[in-house]
Homo-oligomer: A and B are copies of this chain.
């Protein structure tokens, strides 16, 4: 068994805590932060909790992403579940698994990325620990404060429209560009490397009274299936090539990929999937022009999903 000093677990976390600026609004969350056995937070009326894992070789590759990008994306991916729950970020906890021989500069780069992303989203670092691991891994645990009613994937109602907050398939396109060394599609690459949780859209959706929402982490087809099952409805997809982002069209043309299939089977999108009435969609679209209707909700007809492009399958990390 490898040797590990528990003392050492604190040093990296403490480095980050010490390095980060502490304006009033970041101090707010943590009354007692890293260093003691646990962190004490300010009171939470609707605590919303989520967790995510980012593991080298499964979720990221160091020859594709810088340590900074890996750290920043881990935060964004984890906080996206808070956005999808209409919650505001409060504190993030990070367990880092460090393989033998990892250079300090890689660990520091990851922490810099974590810190920069925490800054962007106004989230405090609550603590965490590090341990020896055979592969580089980040386990993140985010605490948020719910705002009003939490949206549920089980709340889709027949007669509503199925909508997304932005273009589909972008991150998967970026992943394929990395796999093939393609560099002509910077927005696809950015969608994979630097996803943004849609806190901005969540606020609009909540104010518009949306009750059914989730983030698209498994691709439209996969997540629509989750939603349809949880709600006991049929979701009929109606994807058209016009809905696609220009770079995705360009990439699919260049590679001979089926555009609609690609849009339906993307992954790691972190756009929000939601249902609402036509009137509500119009009101939302006035504030977020990228919002699109991608289908409709009907009473359960025996199948959960209709209108699925033939080659669509749920995204798999690979």
Measured CB to CB, the nearest residue on chain B to A94 is B51
Nearest-CB distance from A171 to chain B (Å)? 13
How far, in Å, is A143 (CB) from chain B's closest CB? 6
Sorting the interface of chain A by its residue count into under 10, 10 to 19, 20 to 34 or 35 or more gives 35 or more
CB contact under 8 A between A32 and B150, given known A43-B47, A132-B55: yes
Knowing A49-B126, A137-B97, the reply to whether A4 touches B317 (Cβ < 8 A) is yes
A192 to B: closest C-beta gap in Å: 13
A37 pairs with B50, CB closer than 8 A:
yes
Chain B CB within 8 A of A40 CB: yes
Closest to A315 in B: B6
Contact across chains for A51 and B153 when beta carbons are under 8 A apart: no
How far apart are the CA atoms of A280 and B85 in the complex, in Å? 47
User: Is B44's CB under 8 angstroms from A43's CB?
Assistant: yes
B41-A49 in contact (CB<8A): yes
Tell me the minimal C-beta distance from A173 to chain B in angstroms.
Answer: 17
Q: Which of B1, B39, B81, B215 contacts A57 (CB 8 A)?
A: B1
Q: Does A66 contact B (CB under 8 A)?
A: no
Q: Closest chain B residue to A138 by CB distance? A: B139
Q: Mark A273-314, 1 if CB is under 8 A from B, else 0.
A: 000000000000000000000000000000000000000001
Bound-state CA distance A2–B37 (Å) is 35
Q: Are B91 and A52 touching (Cβ within 8 A)?
A: no
Q: Which 6 residue pairs of A and B lie closest in terms of their CB atoms, listed nearest first?
A: A139-B139, A38-B50, A141-B141, A37-B81, A41-B47, A37-B84
Residues of A within 8 A of B (CB): 1-7, 31-32, 35-53, 55, 57-59, 61, 80-82, 84-85, 87, 91, 93, 95, 97, 126-129, 131-135, 137, 139, 141, 143-144, 146, 150, 152-154, 214-215, 217-218, 222, 226, 230, 267, 314-318
Offer 25 A-B interface pairs, CB within 8 angstroms, sorted by A.
Answer: A1-B317, A4-B317, A5-B316, A6-B222, A6-B315, A7-B222, A32-B150, A37-B85, A38-B48, A38-B85, A39-B50, A40-B47, A41-B48, A41-B49, A43-B44, A43-B45, A47-B47, A47-B143, A51-B128, A53-B95, A53-B129, A53-B139, A133-B137, A134-B135, A139-B139
